[in-house]
């Protein structure tokens, strides 16, 4: 079958060129998913998911190196097909709502149906192409290929541990990647709505995968919350159609800023906030953890939530500097800090990771709406490194769950003796989320530097406070979790490395090596790969360049010796303890003031904060309404 594809590819290569690779990036995962679903054969599933890695990577690579912006016209029938698909999708949601007796789901589905009909009645034919592939799109393709596909490979092994339905599960994961590739390439907002709702469908199916009571409940929650995002997109579409008749991203970006209605942009941002699981809509992402772990992994890293910063990056040139942008900064920044604070109170490992995703998504969106070239670079960096680190961490969470039967951080006690390798990977993932030379840190750093330049508006001082405070809270969170897992009993060295399955190790090492390589060469990497994307999005060249291996931003430099020094120190901290044993040193028991040794030592659970959780959520609702009413200019 693969030979077949190669032949088709070679044939089209002469004809279609880059457009073919774009089409294949979108369509191939759908086909492969279908094949896996039909074949239900171990060999087919494993081989095809493994093959997706080089194949999708190659397509993204080819599109990337063609380098030009592509507007691809689609045949007219695709329009109709997507409209029909829309109705089918919403009909399915309605059916699910009725079947599961959820008023909210059915009501929102009906509302969307009505709005969709109005949209279709109002929409006029436009000659703008429906597929738009620029550097940002290819960037997302790359993330899907490099970060997303390994998760499917991981899932092929994961699902063999007493889980049912391996083949359909892997098929849905791969299909999800295709949906994501499609969603980031559409130009037509009506199509974007269809894809937006398809990701909702995919997450619904995945969250519900185990089909127990809790899973179905959480899936329904995810369904109605994400449908609110869909409603917001439809409202945005209606406003666009009513005021200017434009419904393509490129048209909106090229139009005079006076023509573009702020209300519509406000609605689009709202859908991003919902998709990005920003408080008060964060519950659906937390609920996703009842599903098999690869689901969390794929939702948090390569797909689904990344649509949110993607959408805001798309529209960032038009909302930059408006009141809407400032309100969005305040809202997302608040979520960045609040989610980090709430994460401190959690004791479920996956929940902690989920809260930190919510938190960092807030930061990505914040950077995206600030919209200056450097801020956009920061946002892109955060998207990329967060995808890698979170994919990595959730993979390790899956390993912990299946091999070591650890779900809560309480059970992570003395993990260093039971699972040294996995703990080392988790350690590295956490370091990536906040410490010095890694991409997430650089995102935060250049965000603060950038915001320092225009402090005259209060929201920007708030921004700096948010970034400083949020990163401090996140560091505390990670150090706390790591601290629990490195706890050792005195003197006893009982390190038993359990052999892990090959596919688990392959995926872990894949992420590890990528993260390490990107961090060492971070300066040239940012300057040559990320900066051009930011330049294309914002229309200006960000003042970032690489001086050999040192990173220069405006007047500040992150020297290579600093990057390397921090990397060496952190590598020593996260890896050395597993290998170094002082031979000639006597050991002693810890001082305990003459008391009996406690069997377990608890750590702070920050219960004093969980009292305020509801206040934090209430405040975020207020901010949300403020974005809608003031930012969207509804008053």
Partner 1 sequence: MKFETLMLLLTLFAPIIGGFVYGVERIVKARMQSRVGPPLMQPFYDFFKLMDKRPLMVHSLHAVMGIMYFIACWFSLLVLFLGNDLLVAVFFHVIAVLALTIGAFSVRSPYSVIGAMRELMHMISYEPLMVLMVVGFYQVVGSFNLKDILNYDGIPLLQLPVVFVAFVLAIPMMLHKSPFDVAEAHQEIIGGPEIEYSGPFYEAVYTGKWIEYVYVFFFVFLFGGSHYWLGALLVLFVFLFVNALDNATARLDFRRMVKFSWFVLIPISAFNIIFLALWR
In the window 418-437, what residues touch partner 1 (CB under 8 A)? Answer: 434-436
Nearest-approach distance from CB 555 to partner 1, in angstroms? 5
Residue 140: its H or E element: helix 135-143
Tally of residues, the chain: 635
Distance in angstroms (rounded) separating the CA atoms of residues 444 and 359? 13
Residue 349 touching partner 1 (CB under 8 A): no
Structure tokens at 225: 């919350």
Distance in angstroms (rounded) separating the CA atoms of residues 628 and 328? 10
Q: Which lies closer to partner 1 via its Cβ, residue 43 or residue 579?
A: 579
Among 71, 74, 57, smallest CA distance to 18 is for 71
Q: Which lies closer to partner 1 via its Cβ, residue 371 or residue 437?
A: 437
Residue 497 touching partner 1 (CB under 8 A): no
- Residue pair 525/518 in contact (Cβ under 8 Å)? The answer is yes
Nearest-approach distance from CB 492 to partner 1, in angstroms? 8
> Running DSSP on this structure, what letter comes out for residue 148?
I
Among 352, 354, 365, 382, smallest CA distance to 315 is for 365
Residue 38 touching partner 1 (CB under 8 A): no
In the window 307-336, what residues touch partner 1 (CB under 8 A)? Answer: none
Which of residues 11, 161, 597, 615 is near partner 1 by CB under 8 A? 597
Q: Which lies closer to partner 1 via its Cβ, residue 223 or residue 431?
A: 431
Nearest-approach distance from CB 590 to partner 1, in angstroms? 3
Which of residues 14, 585, 596, 635 is near partner 1 by CB under 8 A? 585
Residue 146: its H or E element: none
Q: Which lies closer to partner 1 via its Cβ, residue 232 or residue 381?
A: 381
Nearest-approach distance from CB 416 to partner 1, in angstroms? 7
CA distances from 8 to 20, 231, 386, 467, 468 (A): 10, 40, 36, 50, 53
Q: Which lies closer to partner 1 via its Cβ, residue 255 or residue 455?
A: 455
Which of residues 114, 254, 557, 634 is near partner 1 by CB under 8 A? 557
Q: Which lies closer to partner 1 via its Cβ, residue 121 or residue 608?
A: 608
Q: Which lies closer to partner 1 via its Cβ, residue 4 or residue 589?
A: 589
Structure tokens at 107: 């009501």
Rounded to the nearest 10 degrees, what angle do helices 262-275 and 349-370 cross at? Answer: 160
Which of residues 565, 615, 618, 621 is near partner 1 by CB under 8 A? 565
Which of residues 10, 68, 493, 548 is near partner 1 by CB under 8 A? 493
Q: Which residues are registered as beta bridge partners of 547?
A: 550
> Running DSSP on this structure, what letter comes out for residue 244?
T
Distance in angstroms (rounded) separating the CA atoms of residues 530 and 439? 11
Q: Which lies closer to partner 1 via its Cβ, residue 39 or residue 469?
A: 469
Site string for partner 1, 463-492 (x = CB under 8 A): -xx-xxx-xxx-xx--xx-xxx-xxxxxxx
CA distances from 608 to 344, 449, 634 (A): 11, 33, 38
Nearest-approach distance from CB 424 to partner 1, in angstroms? 12
Residue 543 touching partner 1 (CB under 8 A): no
Nearest-approach distance from CB 96 to partner 1, in angstroms? 44
Q: What b/e readout covers 80-109, taking b as 16+ CB neighbours within 10 angstroms? A: eebbebbeebbeebbebbeeeebeebbebb
- Residue pair 363/332 in contact (Cβ under 8 Å)? The answer is yes
Residue 449 touching partner 1 (CB under 8 A): yes
Q: Which residues are registered as beta bridge partners of 131?
A: 72, 186
- Residue pair 167/45 in contact (Cβ under 8 Å)? The answer is yes
Structure tokens at 195: 């894809």
Binding site for partner 1 (CB under 8 A): 416, 434-436, 441, 445, 448-449, 452, 455-456, 458, 461-462, 464-465, 467-469, 471-473, 475-476, 479-480, 482-484, 486-493, 555-559, 562, 565-566, 569-570, 572-573, 576-577, 580-582, 584-593, 597-598, 601, 603-604, 608
């Amino acid at each position: 079958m693969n030979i077949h594809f190669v032949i088709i590819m070679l044939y089209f290569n002469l004809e279609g060129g880059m457009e073919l690779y774009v089409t294949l990036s979108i369509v191939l995962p759908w086909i492969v998913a279908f094949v896996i679903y039909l074949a239900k054969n171990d060999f087919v599933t494993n081989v095809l998911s493994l093959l997706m890695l080089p194949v999708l990577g190659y397509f993204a690579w080819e599109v990337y190196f063609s380098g030009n912006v592509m507007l691809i016209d689609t045949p007219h029938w695709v329009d109709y097909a997507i409209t029909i698909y829309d109705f089918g999708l919403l009909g399915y949601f309605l059916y699910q709502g009725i079947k599961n007796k959820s008023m909210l789901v059915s009501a929102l589905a009906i509302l969307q149906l009505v709005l969709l009909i109005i949209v279709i009645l109002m929409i006029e034919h436009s000659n703008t192409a429906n597929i738009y592939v620029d550097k940002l799109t290819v960037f997302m393709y790359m993330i899907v290929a490099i970060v997303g596909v390994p998760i499917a490979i991981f899932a092929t092994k994961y699902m063999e541990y007493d889980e049912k339905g391996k083949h359909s599960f892997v098929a849905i994961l791969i299909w999800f990647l295709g949906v994501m590739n499609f969603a980031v390439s559409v130009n037509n907002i009506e199509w974007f709505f269809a894809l937006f709702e398809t990701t909702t469908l995919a997450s619904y199916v995945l969250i519900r995968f185990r089909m127990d009571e809790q899973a179905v409940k959480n899936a329904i929650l995810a369904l109605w919350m994400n449908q609110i995002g869909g409603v917001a997109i439809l409202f945005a579409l209606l406003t666009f159609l009513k005021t200017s008749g434009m419904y393509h991203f490129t048209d909106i970006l090229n139009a005079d800023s006076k023509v573009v209605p702020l209300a519509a942009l406000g609605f689009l941002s709202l859908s991003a906030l919902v998709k990005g699981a920003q408080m008060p809509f964060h519950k659906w992402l937390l609920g996703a953890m009842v599903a098999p772990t690869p689901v969390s992994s794929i939702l948090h890293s390569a797909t689904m939530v990344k649509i949110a910063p993607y959408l805001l990056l798309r529209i960032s040139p038009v909302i930059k500097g408006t009141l809407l942008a400032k309100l969005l900064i305040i809202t997302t920044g608040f979520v960045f800090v609040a989610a980090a604070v709430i994460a401190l109170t959690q004791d479920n490992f996956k929940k902690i990771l989920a809260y930190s995703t919510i938190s960092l998504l807030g930061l990505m969106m914040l950077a995206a709406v600030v919209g200056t070239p450097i801020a956009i670079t920061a946002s892109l960096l955060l998207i990329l490194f967060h995808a890698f680190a979170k994919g990595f961490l959730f993979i390790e969470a899956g390993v912990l769950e299946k091999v070591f039967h650890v779900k809560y951080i309480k059970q992570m006690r003395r993990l260093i003796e039971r699972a040294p390798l996995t703990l080392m990977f988790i350690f590295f993932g956490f370091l990536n989320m906040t410490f010095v030379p890694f991409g997430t840190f650089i995102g935060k750093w250049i965000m603060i530097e950038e915001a320092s330049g225009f402090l005259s508006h209060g929201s920007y001082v708030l921004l700096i406070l948010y970034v400083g405070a949020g990163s401090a809270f996140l560091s505390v969170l990670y150090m706390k979790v790591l601290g629990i897992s490195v706890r050792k009993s005195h003197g006893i060295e009982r390190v038993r490395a359990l052999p892990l399955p090959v596919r688990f190790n392959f995926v872990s090492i894949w992420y590890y090596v990528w993260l390490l390589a990107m961090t060492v060469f971070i300066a040239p990497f940012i300057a040559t790969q990320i900066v051009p994307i930011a330049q294309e999005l914002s229309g200006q060249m960000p003042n970032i360049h690489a001086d050999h291996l040192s990173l220069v931003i405006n007047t500040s430099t992150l020297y290579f010796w600093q990057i390397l020094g921090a990397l060496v120190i952190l590598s020593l901290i996260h890896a050395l303890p597993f290998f170094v044993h002082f031979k000639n040193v006597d050991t002693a028991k810890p001082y305990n003031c003459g008391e009996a040794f406690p069997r377990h030592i608890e750590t702070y659970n920050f219960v004093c904060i969980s009292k305020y959780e509801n206040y934090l959520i209430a405040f975020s609702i207020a901010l949300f309404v403020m974005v809608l009413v003031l930012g969207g200019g509804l008053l």
